[in-house]
Amino acid sequence: MCGEGLPLEPPSPSHPLGTTPLGEDALCALAAGLWTSLEVAAVSYLTSFALLTALHYLSFARKGVLAEALSDLLLSLPRLPLLVLLGVKVTLSPLLVGALVGALASSAGVKVIKEAAERLREQPFALASFASGASPGEAWRLHGPRNALELVSAYAGLSSAIAIYAEAAISALGLEDPSTPSLGRLAYLVLNTPGAALTEAGAAQLLASALSTVAVAEVVRRAWRLLRAF
């Protein structure tokens, strides 16, 4: 729990970013939001990774109907409009936002992943596996993961960074439960409290919310890139 004081106390040694319109220590609330952003990024990454890996396998195995159905679904989903519509109809949780963004952002890699899988199937070592009696599933287990990992990880990493921005924006718009820790929650509280943005504490919290969102998204994006290098 974050320590409490009077609403919108100015920054001080005890409250470096002041207090929120609810009287919470803003720095503590920001730290809780950072953790939420990391959870959102992880869920988005895993969702995107799973969908694109499945697409790679289905394309390699020539499961034509299933591969086309999955790729068409990913390509046809509206992105921001769907999130906003869902937010109006139901209260979104950060983890649900992460999963949705992971699915929606996967559309960027559909064409590249499919083409990579189809090229892999025609490689001499893959053809040799088929000639030796390997099923499509067995051949993919031998050759698919190495071919898919870098591409799938790149798009999944991008989706995780996008998810951080999306979740913070949705929270700032008030489409999440305001009690849920989020980098966008500080902005929502300040912007929806008359006059709060004009106070020293409110201005500091708006700036901290925006800069923290950009920083954590960039750190996550670079972290996935470094992991791929290993």
What's the rounded Cα separation, in Å, for the pair 75 and 79? 10
Tens of pLDDT, residues 126-182: 999 999 999 989 999 999 998 898 899 999 999 999 999 989 988 998 888 778 899
Fold (topology level) of 26-229: MetI-like fold (1.10.3720)
* pLDDT exceeds cutoff 80 at 229: no
Tens of pLDDT, residues 31-62: 999 999 999 999 999 999 999 999 999 999 87
What's the rounded Cα separation, in Å, for the pair 8 and 103? 38
CB 159 within 8 A of CB 45: yes
Residue 177 identity (one-letter amino acid): D
Task: Give percent above pLDDT 70 in the chain.
Answer: 91
Number of CB atoms found within 10 A of residue 17's CB: 22
User: What count of Cα atoms within 13 Å lies in the side-chain half-sphere of residue 53?
Assistant: 18
What's the rounded Cα separation, in Å, for the pair 97 and 176? 10
